[in-house]
Structure 1
Amino acid sequence: MDAIISIVGSVAQYAFAPIRREVGYLILYERNFSKLIGCVSDLQAVREAINHRVEAERRNGKIIEVGVQNWLVEVNEVIERANQLLEDPRRREVGCSGWSFPNLILRHQLGKIATKIATDVAGVQGKNDFNEVGYLPALDEIASSSATRGGEKLETRETFKEDILKALRDPKACNVGVYGLRGVGKTFLVKEVAKIAKQQKLFDAVVIARVSETPDIKEIQGVIADKLGLQFPEETIAGRAYRLWKRIEAEKTVLIILDDIWQPLELEKVGIPSNKEHIGCKLLMTSKNQDVLLKLDVQKDFTFRLELLNETETWSLFQSTAGDVVNDISFKDVATQIAKKCAGLPLLIVTMAKGLKSKDVHAWKDALCQLQSVGHAERDATAYSALELSYNWLANDEIKALFLLSALLEYCSEDYLLKVAMGLGIFKNIDTVDDARNRLHSIVESLKASCLLLEGNNASRHIQMHDLVRDVAISIAYHLNTMSSPRSSRKDRLS
């Protein structure tokens, strides 16, 4: 009997529950709408708070998470549905005010809709538990060096890029190396390869970092991490190396370009796995010396020497950089001779062409005379003379001083350069820090236009200079300070 009573009770409960719910829509009409209004008000407050976080993250350069964006869309939609119901003109027809008799059918319909929307509002609000609403994207900038940029596609360079890309596709090539003289265009070339690799989707991630003569391990780690969207909680080099290693391992395929290596670098100390440890990780490295690349486990067959430009390519690059002035009959002969004196080095070709393009024929002839006085076999001296001319062509002493200071500080931030320059009193007729910052920015852009500074990475805001240009700048600074070294010995300080 008890079992029968239990079964009957359960059946009655299931039978009457829907009836009770439907009656509730009718009887609790006002309460349902009050609840809806309260839920909407709470959700609007939460939406406002999330929107404030979203705007703050956007101002900090972060990308808003897709889940947050979808939630905001869902919130807007459900609030719109609620507002449409609250403003529905039929609500005035439900009755129960004054002597009017209630419209029971309409009252039931609207009460049911209000209950459903209130439930949806509460459900959406329950999804707002976001620890983070945005994230910093991985840096995707592979800047080209204005010191070697020209509008012409040079045949030997195009063939060379194809060879490098072929090697990167070769499964037998764990590491690939490029070597050649300073100023020959190694940095520009590997940046071009990086762009093509990204466009052709050869790797899931492509990053580039400069090593330099005096490697800063933390700086190298930071540059690679920035490009991969990684932030370091660790302070020690070893801790950061482990974190970077795990992040690189997370990429199925990754190309890491290490530029301007002077001595073998401890890759494990940086946090870069070898191809044996992570088969999807390939390294492309540049150096002046092939032996350095071989010591970094680059097979000799996958080291590529970047040669000087031939005479035809030299003239093509010089002409495209200097512009139509070289076709003028009064300039053509001297321009051709200056191009030849640049000895096939793209750095010198572009620097000289840019420096001369707006000058009269007398300045061109004077430049040629100074280059010819160096001699035929002294390449370093020719480089010094050409870059010294570019220095002399700078508009004023303020720009010259900032150029030399940039070389002496070596890869400093713009903010640090600003502090030192202000401390040394380099800026003239400047009263505020903001005015000095604007002046510095203008000078930096002018030096980039003269090809005495590299474009670098806008996000890092560090001053970057080709090592050959830096050597010349330091030599000039040394000479200005001592005024004791004869002109003919300057090239000795470049070695």
Structure 2
Amino acid sequence: MKDVESEKKKLILNRGLVQEKIGTTPKTEKVNNAVFEWLKESEKLIEDEENLKTRTEAEIPDYDCSFAVVQWVLCSNHEMRYGMYNEMLKKMKVLNTNSEPEPFSTTIPALEYFSSGYFVSFEPMKEASDRLIVALQDNNCSIIGLYGKRGSGKTKLVKIVGEKAKYLNIFDVILFANVSKNPNAMRIQDEIADSLNLKFKRNTEVARARTISSELESIGRVLVILDDVQEKIELEDIGIPNDGSNGCKVLLTTRRQRECGLMDCQSQIPLGPLSNDEAWVLLKKYSGIEDEPSSDILNVAHQIVFECEMLPGTIKEVGSSLKSKPVVEWKVSLDNLRHPMARWQIFISFRGKDTRYSFTGFLYDALCQGGFKTFMDDGGGLHNGDQISPSLYNAIEASRLSIVVLSENYASSSWCLDELAKILECKQLKNQLVWPIFYKVQPSDIRDLKNNYGVSMTNHEQELGSDSERLQKWRSALSEVSGLSGQTYKTDGCVVYTFIY
């Protein structure tokens, strides 16, 4: 038994070394399952020995006396237990001999490995994927949100990340359900139930939610992916725990960060557009064109990449439609991207940092609920440096009414001022309507360039020069908009109701 005690001490030491090595394993590598099996066996054997030792000490008056132990062993009633000690000794020696399984870890495959179809893990995908995996392993994160523009590749990425999380043994089961606009709890429940081969005994929404909740609890480590969330949904109404209990986590995708906030996501991760070079590689893949200097298509193709706003989903759709097509069809496609059909009734111009998640966000939601087709830049992809994308200009031209939310810091943004100049140009040339909302500012502040508006224009003048044509357009636009009939509001509450109703 003393030999068992000595071998156990070695095993405890080796267990600590293995645990330390696991902690220092690079994130790019996966610790092999054999290592965790070794740990599991070691911990069980140490626990079994401790339990057996406790029972033995209770039966031997002087456990530390070798003579007393020998007397106990010679007693026929204890031969079986002595055999158990010998068996433990053998197992401990084997585990100590094999305390460093080889290979200890293996390199985690690239994202492409987890995709069922063609996929290139460009830099935005890699960055978002790494952040998602960290969040999925964080015990403080039960709801994680991935947000990005339509066509940014969110759906593809979360499916791949789900497979990777399963490979890394973070989850046992991955479930996927599409939410989309006007979510229906029972339809989402059906998608989850189909994945689990689950049958509902009662067909009420509440009963179905209880059935799903009970099933998820029995599974343990499960990841529920909810794709294309466009408004707040109650997870408990579907049957999904929202507190991370029982190892269940939720990963959702949405087009705007605002929905991540509404869903109480503890981690909110953006998926940005591709770089110009990455977008070009993708277009060549789907369209089949080559970098031939003599090709008439190349110049048009580069412009198409820009108009697609570097979004992989949009590039795939456009590129695939143009495969093996003549240059004339490429030009038609480019023209369609630049001049989409007039699909917006209202365009909202605003300073994002001031009002995106408060006044303007509420206004946008109210307009949409009121049946108005409303365009609001969702915070990325429509600006290139200090220049506005042609797609944003197209949206202004395609709108019947522009609402300009003139907040305190509106004039500090060159993007906002360019938008305003374009809006007033369309007012003159296309007879479009313009509705200014003076949000926590007075029209005189804008007309006379006082307070923040004066400071902002002075800063622009220092950067561009007093003779800048662009600066003069901005001054003229601010003067004109300050004289238009609009509304002045000091609080958020009444404007939405007043405007819609």
TM-score range, shorter chain: 0.3 to 0.5
**TM-score, length-scaled by structure 2:** 0.44
**TM-score, length-scaled by structure 1:** 0.44
Q: Which has the higher helix share?
A: 1
- Larger relative contact order (Cα-Cα within 8 Å, sequence gap ≥ 6): 1
Q: Which has the higher strand share?
A: 2
